[in-house]
Amino acid sequence: MTLRQTQHIITGTDASDGAGVKMKRLFPVQGIVQVDPFLLFDEFGSDDPDAYIGGFPDHPHRGFETVTYMLAGRMRHFDSRGNSGLLTAGGAQWMTAGRGLIHSEMPEQTDGLMRGFQIWINLPASEKMVPPRYQDYSPDEIAEATLENGIALKVVAGRAGGITGPVNGVSRQPLLVDATIPAGVTWRQAVEQDATVLAHVFEGTAEIGGKKLGTTQMAVLGPGDEIAATAGKDGARVLLLAAQPLGEPVARYGPFVMNTQAEIEQAFADYRAGRLG
């Protein structure tokens, strides 16, 4: 096995989106537009309802997938095709927007902690206009395992620690794992040789790929087929992401991600004409 080394560290910056939801944005930011095939990575979290209660009212998407993984709180989603669902703490949603829809994601409580992640993953040109699809998973559907060294894994997509996440039939062969690592313990995980691999520390500190990372920092890892993360003195919680890159042209404007500017203009025309759901 060849251990991947950290090539770059991204530190989250304060941002807001939707109706004023406050968050830490890892990318896109100035200088980092995407990490192919990942288009966006946000960590939201607050115990102040004013920082999130506005939620994400009706907005369109086309051409990519959105992944929401909840750590605390509840989020209700609705869309223009009549679908609805409720995300609760420990649950996840994998939405393939495909050719397009209009949806909303709204907190249901008026106080208490709201915490989680939203990730955008690009779709290849051949899949950008597929029918929209949701995969909603309750906390008890997320695969969990505790390893002999005390590492606790929650696997949303892909395989880690001998267990397989529930997400299926999506593009880019993704891996999404939430790992809680005790102090001083090293977690080693196999990854695809040609995948893009990101490791985000969201609690504690960890050494990943030869670099020390603090809370709300992400390692962009170089080539190899295994990662190693060693927790600091207070332990660590790490979100590991991996997926096959696309290597295709990206045309992006707001909620639409296509391959050409003409396709972006068509997406806006379809939206204005009411053809997105």
Residue 56 lies in a domain: yes
| CA pair distance 98, 78, nearest whole angstrom | 17
Q: What is the pLDDT of residue 154?
A: 98
Could you tell me the CA-to-CA distances from 139 to 14, 71, 73, 113 in Å, in that order?
28, 10, 12, 17
The encoded tokens of residue 6 equal: 């950290």
Q: What is the pLDDT of residue 20?
A: 85
Whether pLDDT at 175 is above 90: yes
Residue 277 lies in a domain: no
How does pLDDT run across 231-262, given as a tens digit for each residue? 999 999 999 999 999 999 999 999 999 999 99
CB 224 within 8 A of CB 189: no
Q: How many independent structural domains does the chain possess?
A: 1
Residue 114 lies in a domain: yes
Residue 176 lies in a domain: yes
Whether the pTM exceeds 0.85: the reply is: yes
CATH number of the domain to which 165 belongs: 2.60.120.10
Residue 1 lies in a domain: no
Residue 191 lies in a domain: yes
Residue 135 lies in a domain: yes
Average pLDDT, the chain: 95
How does pLDDT run across 122-158, given as a tens digit for each residue? 999 999 999 999 999 999 999 999 999 999 999 999 9
Residue 110 pLDDT level (bands cut at 50, 70, 90): low
Residue 108 pLDDT level (bands cut at 50, 70, 90): confident
Average pLDDT over residues 39-56: 90
Residues spanned by the domain of 155: 6-272
| CA pair distance 5, 186, nearest whole angstrom | 15
Residue 11 lies in a domain: yes
